[in-house]
Amino acid sequence: MKKILTLLCTVLLTLGCSDPKEKEIIEAQKDFDMIKTSKSYINSQIPYDNVLYSSFINKKNKNLDEADKVYKSEISKAKNTPYYNNLKHIGFKFIMENGLTEKGTNSQKEFYLYEQIELKRNFPNFSNFYSLLISCKEFKNKSELIEISNQFYIKNKNEIDRVIFGEKENKKSKLNDLTQQQKLFIRYINSYSE
């Protein structure tokens, strides 16, 4: 009886004391910061009032051009902040959710492709990056796409090897995800003819 009462109290406290919106924000933040070392983790958290961040969290649907303007405006404002890279990760996901691969112009696609290439690591966006890269086949030739893909793969593999994830399973999972995305991309790109 005592165990049941303790369990019931724990469940009620957990459910009663947590704001679902706050939980969603915290979970989204965790997705975009795989490296959790005390001071660097705290400094790299994006302020909740950042327009790009709040648009992403609140799922404010915009058309692609509006999302593009928000991204470019907020990224330029955050240039010298500790959360700059995390904002780029969230911003890229936001842009992809607003239809970059389907509705984006070639110049928009190329801009975001190089935004991601310039990052030191892209842990949260492997799938989005390769989707964008596939959509670039309209204006980049096969050898360029494969070269970009290989550079992206090597850069991120080296970062996965270098970064301490805490648990071996996390590291292995991230490496498997990257390798799978790379293999799928190469298989797809080799199946299409120029």
- At 21 the pLDDT is 42
The most distant pair of C-alpha atoms in the chain lies apart, rounded to whole Å, by: 71
Of the pLDDT bands very low, low, confident and very high (cuts 50, 70, 90), residue 76 is confident
Distance CA 71, CA 87 (A): 9
Of the pLDDT bands very low, low, confident and very high (cuts 50, 70, 90), residue 2 is very low
Question: How many residues are there in the chain?
Answer: 194
- At 42 the pLDDT is 57
For the segment 21-46, the average pLDDT, to the nearest whole number, is 51
Helical H runs in 78-105? Answer: 84-97, 100-103
Q: pTM of the prediction?
A: 0.75
Which is it for the CA torsion 90, 172, 119, 135, positive or negative?
Answer: negative
Would the pLDDT of 25 be above 50? Answer: no
DSSP 47: P
- At 54 the pLDDT is 76
Would the pLDDT of 127 be above 60? Answer: yes
- At 20 the pLDDT is 46
Angle, helix 106-118 to helix 142-162, in steps of 10 degrees: 30
Of the pLDDT bands very low, low, confident and very high (cuts 50, 70, 90), residue 45 is confident
Distance CA 51, CA 71 (A): 9
Of the pLDDT bands very low, low, confident and very high (cuts 50, 70, 90), residue 168 is confident
Higher model confidence: residue 150 or residue 169? 150
